[in-house]
Amino acid sequence: MVSLLFIIVLLVVIITIFFMAESNASKHENMKSKSSPKDVFLHILMIGALYVSTFMISSLWFDYINFWFPDKLNYNYRAILEGILVGTSTLIVIFPVYLLTSWLLEKEIKMDKEKREMLVRKWLIYLTLFVSAIAIIVEVVRLVYNFLSGELTMNFFLKILVVLIVASVAFGYYLWDAKRKIGSVSNLPKYLAWTTGLIIFGSVALSFFLVGSPAHQRAVRFDDQRLVDLQSIQGQVITYWQQKEALPPALPNLVDSVGWFVLPTDPDTRTQYEYIVKGPLAFELCATFGAKSIETEAPDRAYVSTPSVPGKVAPAESWSHEMGRTCFERTIDPEIWKINKPLPVIIQDKTAPAAVPLQ
């Protein structure tokens, strides 16, 4: 919701800038600097791609920092990897758009040097300077605040450093660009493009090292569904035991013709999951996984599932697994999962003759 609101406000600002520039262009002494629809489109696309690229590269490095320097009070391993995937996919598409539009605009300016003074270009450049300056000021304020409150951790310091570097580079380059004279030639845009391109390429390559290839990610998605299925089966086994005070002899016994439960199968092979009764209260659920669970790679952040039991605390259950066939042993604790059945109520028959006391 916040991101959508930000995009709407940004579009409103850009459209307002465009109309202000167009209204002022008619009063400008040099009519050659008036922008055409093509110029407006390229400039808005370039600035939009710049904002998205800078935001996503910062967000991507935030996730890297969270991965290497985890915050013990706020850590979600799966969310970090998902954020890395989102940042990587966005940069792969958006950053080339920024480079392409910047190259096209530089080509247009070389053909018509007066276009460097277009008002729409000046407005958007100074808007970028304003946004960069605000980002720098806000991060410095946050740095001072966290220092005074005693929360200056390595995680926070590195994130502040990332924002300051990104905002400072954007501010410095576009401040230099705004001061460029008509007809000036410089290799700085080319060098900066190569440098930022190498940084983006390195960041994207690092994401593949951390989260794996697309084939690996597909295997992880299948494994996530397998875990959901096993947890569903486990819940139904416990319900069966609560109702009949015995474990089901096989998985098909869990299916009730008038119930809601549908026995799940492996999402990839469509085969039935394994269920093994180990004792009166013990059983195993087995499945064949396509990849090692990410929690296994980070054992100190193992994913656990705590069943919800009204009024009671059930033990946490680990669902970490290796690649291949893995079984999860479960033992039902009667003190936790038993259902207190109501005591029988004795109803007296009023038609029966009352007892006569002995004399």
In terms of phi and psi (left: phi > 0; alpha: psi -120 to 50; beta: otherwise), the region of 311 is left
Q: What angle do CA 253, 255, 259 make, to 5 degrees?
A: 135
Q: What share of residues in the chain are helix, strand, coil (percent, to 5)? A: 60, 10, 30
Query: Tens digit of pLDDT for each residue in 217-275?
Result: 888 889 889 999 999 999 889 888 888 888 988 888 888 766 677 888 899 889 999 99
Return the pLDDT at 230: 92
pLDDT for 289 equals: 92
pLDDT along the chain (359 residues), means of 10: 49 56 51 62 81 86 85 71 86 89 81 73 78 77 74 79 84 79 74 86 86 82 90 89 87 76 87 90 91 63 44 57 89 77 57 55
| Whole-number pLDDT of residue 58 | 86
b/e 330-359 (16+ beta carbons within 10 angstroms → b): bebeeeebeeeeeeeeeeeeeeeeeeeeee
pLDDT of residue 20: 56
Residue 13 is predicted with a pLDDT of 59
pLDDT of 49 reads: 84
Read off the pLDDT of residues 21-56 as tens digits, 9 standing for 90 and up. 555 555 554 444 556 677 777 778 888 888 888 888
Give CA–CA dist 267/298, Å, rounded.
Answer: 26
